A and B are shown apart, each in its own frame.
Chain A
Amino acid sequence: AQTVTQSQPEMSVQEAETVTLSCTYDTSENNYYLFWYKQPPSRQMILVIRQEAYKQQNATENRFSVNFQKAAKSFSLKISDSQLGDTAMYFCACNAGNNRKLIWGLGTSLAVNP
């Protein structure tokens, strides 16, 4: 069975600062993918960044980057130059197997303060 753990229920950061959200996962699959999704208040889930497990290079999308440590099964998200619009719930998710269903963490509520 797959599990995803986010150990930080809430975090806050000052605008323009950098923040790192933690995620650990467990899966017996060799072929899997990891995602960070963002869910702003009362708005829909959108993808922030993805990482293929077979790639050693950490994914980067503009101000968002990950630190993927495969041996440790760790997948943290770093947000640089935080903006007020980054305020949201952030979910770490993993998919594996033929069905590719997503297994989710409980989320981290991030508040960016002006």
Chain B
Amino acid sequence: DTGVSQDPRHKITKRGQNVTFRCDPISEHNRLYWYRQTLGQGPEFLTYFQNEAQLEKSRLLSDRFSAERPKGSFSTLEIQRTEQGDSAMYLCASRPTWLAGPYEQYFGPGTRLTVT
């Protein structure tokens, strides 16, 4: 168990460019969540997957955002035509669902996006 990993850790991009982030969950965790955290705020839910199926998307996830988890393992989050308001920390978390209980979500280190 190597934990949740995210790549890159930091991304600086110019407004209008596209960016893609990757998340590798803990092996065999079938639930994967994306959150966005702006400075001084708590995380906000963006979307989640159960295996390869994207089951819910927040209204925060505009048409410029797309997330995939093609084989039910790693996930990518793409932002097209970035705007300065997209600057934030993007957090990925995973958890198992094959056991009942309040199993917490395990978080990655996050990808900090700065749009200039």
Partner-B contacts on A (CB < 8 A): 4, 33, 35, 37, 43-47, 50, 52, 91, 93, 95, 99-107
Contact = CB atoms under 8 A, between A and B. Distances in A.
B65 interface: no
Interface size class of B (residues with CB under 8 A): 20 to 34
Interface in B5-47: 31, 33, 35, 40-45
Nearest to B42: A104
Interface centre among B105, B108, B110 (most CB of A within 10 A): B105
A101 B42 contact: no
Given A100-B31, A100-B95, A35 B104 contact: yes
Contacts of B93: 45, 102
Nearest to A6: B42
Nearest to B31: A100
Contacts, number: 51
Nearest to A93: B42
8 contacts: A47-B106, A52-B101, A95-B102, A99-B48, A100-B95, A101-B33, A101-B45, A104-B44
Contacts of B101: 52
B102 to A, nearest CB: 4
CB-based closest 3 A-B pairs: A104-B42, A33-B102, A45-B107
